[in-house]
C-alpha cells in the first residue's frame, strides 16, 4: 500500500497535469448564458412528451396556486430530492436548472395552468437513471411535502399524483 | 391451554418497542428506512396477513419494496359483549413479492365457557400460518385500472380440536385459499379490495372446520373500501361473508368500520367498530377492535 501510494505521489509530482477531456476529445459543455441550461441532444417536442392528458377546467390549477404555486412546488421538489440522501446520487451531475424548468412546465401543463411542455418524454429522460420503485416513492414523498407546504389539499394532491403514477412504467427501469 | 400471561407480556413488549422505535423513525435511519409509501403495506388482519383488519388484501407486509426484506409485528384486541379476543403475530415481506406470516389467536369464552360446559374463561386458541404471493400489478403504480393481485394460503390449526369436534366440526385443522385484488384509486383517494376465499372454517377456524353435514369448501367474499384523509390517516369499511356449517349454532357475516393512523413510518394504530354477528349461539357480538402494527 505504502509503496503504491509513494509511487502515485512521485508520479503526480513528476508529470505535468493531463487534460483528460482534451486527450479523449470530450467536448466541454457550456451553460447557455441566457437560460443557464446545458444543451441537450435534439429531440421532437410536443405536449405528448408530458406523459399525461391535462385536467379540464381551472379547479386543479387553482388548488395548486396557479403558475406561481406550481413553480414553487416544482422547484421545491427538485431541491428536496437533490438533498435527499435516498436519491441525491441520481440527481447529481444532471442539469437541475433544466429539470426545474421542464418539471414546472410538465406540472403546469398537466394541471391545465396555461403552459406547453417542451421537455423530453418520460422514457427518454429516465432511461439511464436506474430508478427503482423505492426511489420513485422517495420522489413522491418529496413532491407530497412540497405540495403540503403550498397548502394543496390532500384530495387535490392525490388527483395530481393519479396523473403521474401511471408513468411509473417509463420511469422505473430496475 | 390458555396462555394469557405470555400474551400480555408480548403485547407489552410490542408497545414498549413501539415507544423505542419512534425516535429512531424520526431520524429517518437509512438502515431501517423501508421504501414503501405510508400505509401501502396495509394493517395486520386477525389472521396475521396484511390487509384491513378483518379482510386479507393483496398487499405484502413490511415497508420494503422489491429490493428489500420487510418485517412486521402486530397485536390486536377485540372486546365483545360476551367474548374477548387477542391475537398477535409476525410477518416477513420478501421483496414486496412474497409474504410469510404467523398469527396466534386467543378467544376468551368468559361466562359462555360456563354455559357451554367448558368452564369459565375457557380459551379457544388457534395458530395461523399463511403465505401470500403477489402475482401481478401494483397497488399504487402502473395502469390505474389494474389492481395488485395476490394469491394466498392460510393454514389454521386449532389447539382445541376436542371442542371443535364436540360442537360438530369435522376437523380441528383447515386451510383457506385466497385470491385478492387491491388498488388505490388516487384520483378519488379511495382504496378498494376484493378477496375471494375458499374455506371450511367455522368462525374463522376457532370452532373447527366443516361439519358432519357440510364438509366441502365454500366460496366466500371479502370487500374493503377505504378513504385516505391524509398521508397518515385512512378510514374505511369492510365486509366478510362466512360459511354456516355447524348445526348447533348459526354463523353470520362480519363487518367493521375502521380508522388507521400511521403514527410514525413504522407504527400504525387501527381502531374499529366490529360486528362479528352470532358466535356459538350468543348473538350481536359487536364491539371494539384495537390493533398496533410495527413494520420495517
Ligand atoms: C412520475 C414521476 C416523474 C416525473 C413526472 C418526472 C419528470 C421529469 C421531467 C419532466 C424531466 C425532464 C426531462 C427533460 O429534461 O427533457 C425529468 C428528468 C429527470 N428525472 Fe424525472 N420524473 C419522475 C420521476 C423521477 C424519479 C423517481 C427520479 C429519481 C429518483 C427522477 C430523476 C430525474 C433526473 C435525474 C432527471 C434529469 C435527467 C437528465 O438530465 O437527463 N425522475 N423527470
Task: Tell me, yes or no, if A165 comes closer than 8 A to chain B by beta carbon.
Answer: yes
For chain B, strand residue ranges (E) read 43-44, 50-51, 69-79, 84-94, 98-108, 123-136, 148-158, 173-185, 190-199, 218-228, 233-240, 254-262, 267-275, 286-295
**Stretch 190-229 of chain B: residues touching chain A, C-beta under 8 Å:** 228-229
Which cell numbers hold the place of A11?
508520479
Q: Of B13, B106, B45, B14, nearest to B270 (Cα)?
A: B45
Question: Is A119 a pocket residue for ligand 1 (Cβ < 6 Å)?
Answer: yes
Distance, in Å, from the CA atom of A153 to the CA atom of A145, rounded to the nearest integer, reads 12
Distance, in Å, from the CA atom of B51 to the CA atom of B94, rounded to the nearest integer, reads 16
| Domain hosting residue B34, numbered range | 8-295
- Smallest Cα distance from A102 to chain B, Å: 22
Mutation site for A-interface testing, chosen from B189, B234, B262 by largest number of A Cβ within 10 Å = B189
Split at pLDDT 50, 70, 90, the class of A14 is low
Q: Are B80 and B111 in contact (CB under 8 A)?
A: no
What is the count of structural domains for chain B? 1
What pLDDT score does A19 carry? Answer: 79
What pLDDT score does B93 carry? Answer: 96
Tens place of pLDDT per residue across chain B (296 aa): 444 444 444 444 444 444 444 333 333 344 456 899 999 999 999 999 999 999 999 999 999 999 999 999 999 999 999 999 999 999 999 999 999 999 999 999 999 999 888 999 999 999 999 999 999 999 999 999 999 999 999 999 999 999 999 999 999 999 999 999 999 999 999 999 999 999 999 999 999 999 988 899 999 999 999 999 999 999 999 999 999 999 989 999 999 999 999 999 999 999 999 999 999 999 999 999 999 999 99
Whether B241 is covered by a domain: the verdict is yes
Question: Is A103 a pocket residue for ligand 1 (Cβ < 6 Å)?
Answer: yes
Task: Tell me, yes or no, if B186 comes closer than 8 A to chain A by beta carbon.
Answer: yes
Give the C-alpha distances (Å, rounded to integers) separating B155 from B47, B66, B128, B158, B204.
10, 26, 6, 10, 11
From the list A85, A134, A161, the residue facing B186 with the nearest CB is A161
A27-36, A64-73, B13-22: range with lowest mean pLDDT: B13-22
Q: What are phi and psi of B195, to 5 degrees?
A: -135, 135
What pLDDT score does B146 carry? Answer: 97
Contact B65 A134 (CB under 8 A): yes
Which cell numbers hold the place of A151?
397548502
Report if pTM > 0.90: no
Q: Of B79, B74, B29, nearest to B53 (Cα)?
A: B74
Which cell numbers hold the place of A152?
394543496
Whether B2 is covered by a domain: the verdict is no
CATH number of domain containing B167? 2.40.160.40
As a whole number, mean pLDDT of residues A136-158 equals 98
Burial of A27 (0-12, 13-18, 19+ CB in 10 A): exposed
Which CATH architecture group holds A43-171? Orthogonal Bundle (1.10)
Strands B84-94 and B233-240: unpaired
Contact B186 A165 (CB under 8 A): yes
Bridge partners for B199 per DSSP: B218
Amino acid at each position: 500500500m505504502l509503496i503504491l501510494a509513494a509511487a502515485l505521489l512521485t508520479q503526480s509530482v513528476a508529470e505535468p497535469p493531463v487534460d483528460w477531456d482534451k486527450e479523449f476529445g470530450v467536448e466541454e459543455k457550456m451553460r447557455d448564458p441566457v437560460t443557464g441550461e446545458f444543451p441537450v441532444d435534439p429531440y421532437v417536442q410536443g405536449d405528448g412528451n408530458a406523459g399525461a392528458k391535462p385536467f379540464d377546467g381551472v379547479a386543479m390549477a387553482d388548488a395548486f396556486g396557479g403558475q406561481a404555486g406550481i413553480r414553487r412546488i416544482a422547484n421545491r421538489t427538485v431541491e428536496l430530492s437533490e438533498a435527499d440522501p435516498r436519491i441525491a446520487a441520481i440527481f447529481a451531475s444532471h442539469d437541475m436548472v433544466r429539470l426545474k424548468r421542464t418539471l414546472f412546465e410538465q406540472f403546469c401543463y398537466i394541471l391545465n395552468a396555461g403552459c406547453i411542455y417542451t421537455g423530453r418524454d418520460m422514457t427518454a429522460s429516465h432511461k439511464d437513471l436506474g430508478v427503482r420503485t423505492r426511489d420513485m416513492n422517495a420522489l413522491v414523498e418529496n413532491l407530497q411535502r412540497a405540495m403540503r407546504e403550498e397548502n394543496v389539499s390532500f384530495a387535490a394532491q392525490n388527483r395530481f399524483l393519479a396523473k403521474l403514477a401511471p408513468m411509473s412504467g417509463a420511469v422505473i427501469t430496475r | 391451554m390458555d396462555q394469557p400471561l405470555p400474551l400480555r407480556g408480548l403485547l407489552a413488549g410490542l408497545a414498549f418497542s413501539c415507544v423505542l422505535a419512534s425516535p429512531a423513525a424520526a431520524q429517518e435511519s437509512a438502515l431501517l428506512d423501508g421504501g414503501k409509501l405510508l400505509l401501502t403495506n396495509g394493517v395486520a388482519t386477525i389472521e396475521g396477513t396484511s390487509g384491513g383488519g378483518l379482510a386479507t388484501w393483496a398487499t405484502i407486509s413490511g415497508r420494503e419494496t422489491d429490493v428489500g426484506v420487510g418485517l412486521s409485528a402486530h397485536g390486536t384486541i377485540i372486546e365483545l359483549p360476551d367474548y374477548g379476543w387477542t391475537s398477535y403475530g409476525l410477518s416477513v415481506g420478501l421483496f414486496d413479492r412474497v409474504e410469510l406470516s404467523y398469527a396466534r389467536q386467543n378467544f376468551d369464552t368468559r361466562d359462555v365457557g360456563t354455559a357451554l360446559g367448558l368452564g369459565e374463561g375457557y380459551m379457544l386458541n388457534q395458530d395461523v400460518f399463511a403465505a401470500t404471493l403477489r402475482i401481478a400489478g401494483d397497488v399504487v403504480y402502473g395502469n390505474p385500472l389494474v389492481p395488485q393481485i395476490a394469491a394466498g394460503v392460510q393454514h389454521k390449526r386449532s389447539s382445541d380440536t376436542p371442542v371443535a369436534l364436540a360442537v360438530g366440526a369435522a376437523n380441528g385443522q383447515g386451510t383457506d385459499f385466497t385470491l385478492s385484488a387491491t388498488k388505490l384509486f388516487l384520483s378519488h383517494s379511495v382504496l378498494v379490495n376484493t378477496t375471494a376465499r375458499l374455506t371450511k372454517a367455522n368462525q374463522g377456524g376457532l370452532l373447527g372446520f366443516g361439519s358432519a353435514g357440510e364438509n366441502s369448501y365454500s366460496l366466500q367474499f371479502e370487500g374493503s373500501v377505504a378513504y385516505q384523509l391524509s398521508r397518515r390517516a385512512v378510514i374505511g369499511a369492510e365486509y366478510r361473508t362466512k360459511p354456516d356449517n355447524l348445526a348447533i349454532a348459526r354463523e353470520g357475516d362480519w363487518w367493521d368500520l375502521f380508522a388507521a393512523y400511521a403514527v410514525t413510518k413504522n407504527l400504525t394504530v387501527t381502531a374499529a367498530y366490529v360486528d362479528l354477528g352470532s358466535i356459538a349461539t350468543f348473538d350481536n357480538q359487536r364491539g371494539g377492535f384495537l390493533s398496533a402494527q410495527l413494520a420495517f
